Amino acid sequence: MPPVWRRAWFLGLLLALAVGGVVWVHRMRVAKLLALERVRTSIATDLHDDIGSSLSQIAILSEAAQRRYAGSETSAALERIGGLSRELLDSISDTVWAIQPHKDHLSDLKQRMRRFATEVLSARNVEMRWTLDDAGRDLQLDA
């Protein structure tokens, strides 16, 4: 009789344990990635809903108050409050875009960069040419 470690049943058991270990590691990795995606989606939703709507309200209320107190010392402070809230709203929008799980592709980043460059440069009457050599690939990016 061959030693135990050379018998078919023992080798089969080792193979089953190895396959089971690989499957378990894969399942744990997938579960971790899904949990991370749920957290990212939850954060993006909370930022957009709670903070975004509050900043929008601040901007609108400051504009309304600025019209009411036009020409007074308060008007400049209200204008500053409105400007800061709009800047924060843009920043929150960028953050929400960046942490959304479905925006993890190179094509999404290129589209966002193109839109941002168009907004900034067209406001200053600067012509822009956008050329990229991506060879038809849409790479998956890390967060």
CA 123 to chain centre: 26
Residues paired with residue 105 on neighbouring β-strands, in sequence order: 140
Nearest residue to 92 (alpha-carbon basis) of 53, 41, 39: 53
Is the pTM higher than 0.85? The answer reads no
User: Both ends of the chain: CA-CA distance in Å?
Assistant: 57
State residue 13's pLDDT score: 96
Express each pLDDT in 68-122 by its tens digit.
888 777 888 888 888 888 888 888 887 777 777 777 787 788 888 888 888 888 8
Percentage of residues in the chain with pLDDT exceeding 90? 19
How much of the chain exceeds pLDDT 70, in percent?
A: 97
pLDDT at 11: 93
